[in-house]
Structure 1
Amino acid sequence: MNTDDFSFSKCEWKPRKLTELYATDSKEIVRIYADGVYDLFHPGHVEQFKQVKAAFPNVYLIIGVCSDADTLKYKGCLPVMNEGERLKMIDQCRYVDEAYISPPFFPTIEFVNSLKADLVAHDSLPYNSPTADDCYAIFKACDRLLETQRTPAISTTSLLNRIIDDLERYKKRQIIRTNVIM
């Protein structure tokens, strides 16, 4: 994409607020950042991206995929899929315009501004950080949070619980498959 198409390339860039963007019917590109671990990439992740892309007529979606090290540090466990695999899945999603690994685990205004992103997309649930009850509160307070809705009945946690609940059946299946291949 030609950077001349971006409104920030024509003058000094300044983020636009959510109410400002809703108040206009401009066709200008709205840059939106979302982040996450995105382990076991599933329909809930895709739905989040679809919601973001549908929010305005011309959205450029930037995804930050949290690193394995940060996920271990802040969530206490490693993802099932490694960061390279997770980044590859995100990169292949048609709704994503740009993806990269290892953003700050807890986004900051400075980081989002460095991406020249107008908004941050996330659900409205508080997300605890070591320094705040909700690391997205700063974006809510300055009218730069685009609230997305979680997809009912699907999450990485629910997928892992399904596997754990039926672990013996999966073990037997793998033993059968391994014996057939050998």
Structure 2
Amino acid sequence: MNINDISSSLTGEWKSRTLTELYKADTKEVVRVYADGVYDLFHPGHVEQFRQVKAAFPNVYLIIGVCSDADTLKYKGCLPVMNEGECLKMVDQCRYVDEAYFSPPFFPTMEFINYLKADLVAHDSLPYNSPTTDDCYAIFKASDRFLETQRTPTISTTSLLSRIINDLDRYKARQLLRENSSPL
């Protein structure tokens, strides 16, 4: 979908609400929140982010954008361990997720968020570099449409990969033992 399609789909009475408006209103209405990521090696840290978003308001509709392998390779320089289909399936099966969206813009835009009719974008507060800015979430922070989530300090995709790399010989030996003891 291109930007023209997104802009033309913004019809109807929908109007985004800011974080401040939502907190002041103490609303029971549905709050639509978007979060994005690669979600490689889907783990408890991902689930915790989703849980935090769902707990932010009484009635949250959580939309998760799962980045494509091509975009992940282009912007992160490597392919994920789990392919995009596997990541999407894991995210979609999480009880906190109301909708899983495949291949969103790798760096979210206000046009895309409005197309989804999402009030807020959720992510941790660390700046996330893009080709055009030091923080691709800055526009959402500046417009009060950013819901900060806290990273889970004990687990991340990076830490899982480090565990595997640091103990690679043991995992290789375990795998060889399993392969050699499997019945034909």
TM-score (norm 1): 0.93
> Matches of residues 36-75 of structure 1 in structure 2 within 5 Å?
36-75=37-76
Partner residue of 1:162? 163
Structure 1 position 101, deviation (Å): 1.1
> Matches of residues 1-182 of structure 1 in structure 2 within 5 Å?
12-182=13-183
Structure 1 position 132, deviation (Å): 0.3
What amino acid does structure 2 have at the position aligned with 1:132?
Answer: T
| Mapped partners of 1:75, 1:114: distance in 2 | 26
Cα deviation code 1:92-132 (max 9, x no counterpart): 00000000210000000000000000000000000000000
Gaps in structure 1 of 5+ consecutive residues: 1-10
What amino acid does structure 1 have at the position aligned with 2:56?
Answer: A
Cα deviation code 1:36-73 (max 9, x no counterpart): 00000000000000000000000000000000000000
What amino acid does structure 2 have at the position aligned with 1:123?
Answer: D
SS, match of residue 60 in structure 1: strand
| Mapped partners of 1:94, 1:32: distance in 2 | 15
| Mapped partners of 1:101, 1:38: distance in 2 | 12
Identity rate, percent: 83
TM-score (norm 2): 0.92
* Root-mean-square deviation (Å): 0.7
| Mapped partners of 1:141, 1:25: distance in 2 | 22
| Mapped partners of 1:26, 1:132: distance in 2 | 34
Gaps in structure 2 of 5+ consecutive residues: 1-11
SS, match of residue 25 in structure 2: coil
| Mapped partners of 1:40, 1:119: distance in 2 | 25
Structure 1 position 157, deviation (Å): 0.2
| Mapped partners of 1:32, 1:148: distance in 2 | 12
| Mapped partners of 2:73, 2:178: distance in 1 | 32
4+ aligned runs moved over 3 Å, structure 1: none
| Mapped partners of 2:97, 2:84: distance in 1 | 17
